[in-house]
Amino acid sequence: MGKLLILGLDCAEPELVFNKWINDLPNIRSLVKNGVFGPLHSTLPPITVPAWTAMMTSQDPGMLGFYGFRNRKSYDYEDLFFANAKYVKAKTLWNHLSRNRLRSLVFGVPQTYPPRPLNGTLVCSFLTPSKDVQYTFPDEVKVELDRVADGNYIIDVEDFRTDEKDELLEAIYVMTERRFKAFRYFYQKDSYDFAIMVEMGIDRIHHGFWRYFDKGHRLYEPGNKYENVIHDYYVYLDQEIGRTIENLPSDTSVMIVSDHGAKTMVGAICINEWLQREGYLALKEPPKKRERFKTSMVDWSKTKAWGEGGYYSRIFMNVQGREPKGVIPQDQYETARDELKARLEAIEDESGKCIHTKAFKPEEVYRETNGIAPDLIVYLGNLDWRSAGSVGVGSVYLYENDTGPDDANHAENGIFIWRSGGNHPGGPHPYSIYDIAPTVLKYFDIDIPSEMIGTPIR
């Protein structure tokens, strides 16, 4: 049985990889030429959490009970939890492999903190709160990790939403170089049947520099000093990929995946400003300046719904007998939700043009809805616009992110490339993020659990 290596590139965009820059990426091009490839359809919503865990378990966000980074723990207004590994109940790929006595190296996969034992080695992801905590398994790997990463393994760049672009660019390169270097060290040090590494640099560089290269971005300026930054980083990543796979045994299968893609961000809809304007949300006092929305600001006796900001929006409704101070009678809930969905989908831009928002009912898009799901999950302008949660803005529209400079939104397709060593014809195919886990188990000749919803890629 051969080994399998997955290189995860968070946010890698299929249009850039497969069409725009493939001839500048010789190592990726070689994998494409000798394998299968195509867009990889992400989760709904296409966001790092829950997408990577969905990929590693072949379960959708509703089954997992994660609808974003922060989730409601109960129907109380302020009872939230951060979706870390403590809350992951589904079995991951490395859980299944460990049970079959196969060794795994898991490196930087989101939602793996705090680390759990496995048959192998695990380094947690950028969601590790700090390097002061234990974020490796076994524990002693933490010290060795710093040593082999030039003395300081970097979990994530400190702040990718910044105007200090030179510093951001340097930090992304240093982080990426050290992560690949450390990963290669551990991969070559021991023998692993399965290995996966996730690099966050593409996500950070997309959000930080998209306006400088995309001629469709409203702030694009021809000839700016950062025009080739994203292209050059993809080229650099291709070189790191080449160094990582150049000495692999011939029977090692290589897969490259991303959890979602990226696209230009037109602007932000201030969802709580919109809900106030439409009569759904009332605050105790009008804010005197722009500030972060808090549920403590809300006059619940006059509020039917409130929203969360992010690359998509989650809408929560204030229902009698469900929320502590609910106002929507339960027998009117579905009618009220349908009305709100229709009004969201009719949102216009400042010129009066419909932006084609999509609002989803969780129970209609997931196999199950565990935990406390939002009442609606909303793609504002079909993800051309993001959601800004701030209040006191004075407008429904923003053209900068309210949490710092950000040029890109997430897109629904990531990438999939697989050089398996078999006889594959290649070419694009509508692959699903849920297909990855069953594909890996089938590769290792392990029975695919019934709870996995994807299909093995052949």
Is the predicted pLDDT of residue 136 greater than 60, yes or no?
yes
pLDDT for res 145: 96
Instruction: Quick: pLDDT tens for 148-207.
Output: 999 999 999 998 889 999 999 999 999 999 999 999 999 999 999 999 999 999 999 999
User: At which residue do the structure tokens 């590769």 appear?
Assistant: 443
Determine contact, residues 107/123, Cβ cutoff 8 Å: yes
Is the predicted pLDDT of residue 444 greater than 60, yes or no?
yes
Select the CATH number that applies to the domain covering 3-263+410-444 from these four: 3.40.50.720, 3.50.50.60, 3.40.720.10, 3.40.50.261.
3.40.720.10
Average pLDDT, integer, range 248-262: 95
User: At which residue do the structure tokens 């397709």 appear?
Assistant: 413
pTM for the whole structure:
0.96
Tokens of 402: 């309210």
Average pLDDT, integer, range 216-241: 97
Listed in sequence order, the residues at least 6 apart from 289 whose beta carbon sits closer than 8 Å to its beta carbon are: 392
Neighbours of 11 (CB within 10 A): 25
Instruction: Quick: pLDDT tens for 109-121.
Output: 999 999 999 999 9
Strands 431-432 and 305-308: unpaired
Question: What's the Rg (C-alpha) of the chain?
Answer: 22
Question: Where do the structural domains in the chain lie, given as residue ranges?
Answer: 3-263+410-444, 267-405
pLDDT for res 260: 98
pLDDT for res 192: 97
Instruction: Quick: pLDDT tens for 351-400.
Output: 999 999 999 999 999 999 999 999 999 999 999 999 999 999 999 999 87
Instruction: Report the candidate in 202, 203, 211 with the shortest Cα–Cα distance to residue 232.
Output: 202
Average pLDDT, integer, range 209-220: 95
Kindly report the backbone phi and psi dihedral angles of residue 138, in degrees, each rounded to the nearest multiple of 5, phi listed first: -70, 170
Strands 4-9 and 194-199: parallel
